[in-house]
Amino acid sequence: MTDIKKLDQEYVASTYARFPLAIVSGKGSLAYDENGEEYIDMGSGIAVNLFGYCDDVWSEAVSKQLTAVQHTSNLYYTGPCAKLAEQLCLKTGMKKVFYCNSGAEANECAIKAARKYAAETKGPEYTTIITLKNSFHGRTLTTLAATGQDHFHELFQPLTPGFVHADADDCEGLEQMVKENKTAAIMIECVQGEGGVRALSQEFVSCIAKLQKEYDLVIIDDEVQAGNGRTGKLYAYMNYDLVPDVVTTAKGLGGGLPIGVTMLGEKVQNIFKPGDNGSTFGGNPAVCAGALSNIARLDDALMADVMKKSEYLFETFKNSENVKQVSGMGLMIGIEPVRGKAGDIVKLCLQNHVMALTAGGNKVRLLPALNIPMELVEKAAAVIKDAFAEIGENA
């Protein structure tokens, strides 16, 4: 640990505040450090390891493709790329898929699609994209501009122009903003992650659906974190009365390898022409083979199991005297302490061998693998509950 930590601190750019833990191996929802100490992972690499560490089915799908062909460039066809696109479209009703390598890139593509659609149908001055306060859409200069949290913007000016931020769950305010601007699109996370693990209200999402029709807006739904079964449905919008025009996803889809996807609905399905966008690694066959096997496993039985574990966690924390509020959906859960800092609670959890995350609004954030065994959920929940009590007492 000390050697790894020293090397890392000397040579890796200091953009991360790492926990004092080096993970050398893992299986399912258990991770191990170099002393063989075991940890229950309630964060799954920030919603990435969909079926935990080194899941057998996923590993085999990736390995098989790795020894056949690992990359071709997008100048040629590959099976996994085409088959994954088919499955995503069949299961969502979206019409076409663009592949890239991260959530930010998937959102960049969505923004390009929306701007091009608005330019062609309404005029080139229709460039404004409305996003929500406390949203998180990525770290590139454009997706930072989209991100509705000022503290990310400082010192990186000028950001890409054309983004304004509306209050979540304020329908009138949103419509006013649509009218005041030359609006191309509204971009949302149905369940906000990084910004505080908050599910939008049904009424607000229905309001967005109404504006979508009335103003012919492109509705971009960022499901980089909430997508791929995490909320108990394949995509989070399926919990709402909304059919987005563009759905972006990344994190969990690849199960631990980088992939980003921009799904284009009927309205914008033919917006891109050759040369309008591209990605060298996008649609990588090994990554797509893993994603294809992941998507096939997100069936009703697994979703019911996700909801069972979700209910257990919601109940456990709702009924705890040290918890002010539990928010989120499915296995995307935010827990706000009555007293003390979420960061301190997460540190204490790690000392007690449970890996958890934080989110905006002083929340402890849980994003476990979808197949985490109930027994580990119970064990981890007990440790986290104790940490809330201990930190609360000393605050």
Ligand X SMILES: *Cc1c(COP(=O)(O)O)cnc(C)c1O
Q: Which residues bind ligand X (CB under 6 A)?
A: 102-104, 107, 136-138, 189, 193-194, 222, 224-225, 250-251
Compute the least distance from the CB of residue 258 to ligand X, in Å. Answer: 7
**Segment (H or E) for 192:** strand 191-192
Across the beta sheet with 332-337, what order do the strands follow? 323-329, 332-337, 363-366, 357-359
Least distance in Å: CB of 194 to ligand X?
A: 5
Report helix, strand and coil shares of the chain as percent, to nearest 5. Answer: 40, 20, 40
When the beta carbons of 136 and 204 are compared against ligand X, the nearer one is 136
Give whichever of 149 and 269 is closer to ligand X, judged by the CB atom: 149
- C-alpha closest to that of 313 among 298, 299, 300, 332: 332
Beta carbon of residue 195, minimum distance to ligand X (angstroms, whole number): 9
In the complex with ligand X, which residue's Cβ is closer, 55 or 189?
189
Nearest distance, CB of residue 392 and ligand X, angstroms = 28
Residue 39 or 136 having the CB closest to ligand X? 136
CB of 239 to ligand X, least distance (A): 16
CB 112 within 8 A of CB 98: no
Name the minimum Å distance from CB 135 to ligand X.
7
Question: Cβ closer to ligand X: 171 or 261?
Answer: 261
* Minimum CB distance to ligand X smaller for 224 or for 313: 224
Name the token pair of 390: 């201990």
| 189/336 with CB nearer ligand X | 189
**Toward ligand X, which CB reaches closer, 194 or 336?**
194
Measure the CA–CA gap between 253 and 250, rounded to whole angstroms.
6
**Nearest-CB residue for ligand X:** 103
Q: What's the sign of the alpha-carbon dihedral 70, 74, 79, 80?
A: positive
For residue 100, the minimal CB distance to ligand X (Å) is 9
Distant-in-sequence, close-in-space partners of 373: CB < 8 Å, separation ≥ 6: 28, 29
Q: Kindly give the residue spans of alpha helices, DSSP state H, lying in the chain.
A: 2-11, 44-47, 56-66, 79-92, 103-121, 141-146, 171-180, 202-214, 285-297, 300-318, 342-351, 374-394
* Least distance to ligand X, CB of residue 102, Å: 3
Length of the chain: 395
Angle between helical axes of 56-66 and 285-297 (0-180°, round to 10): 150
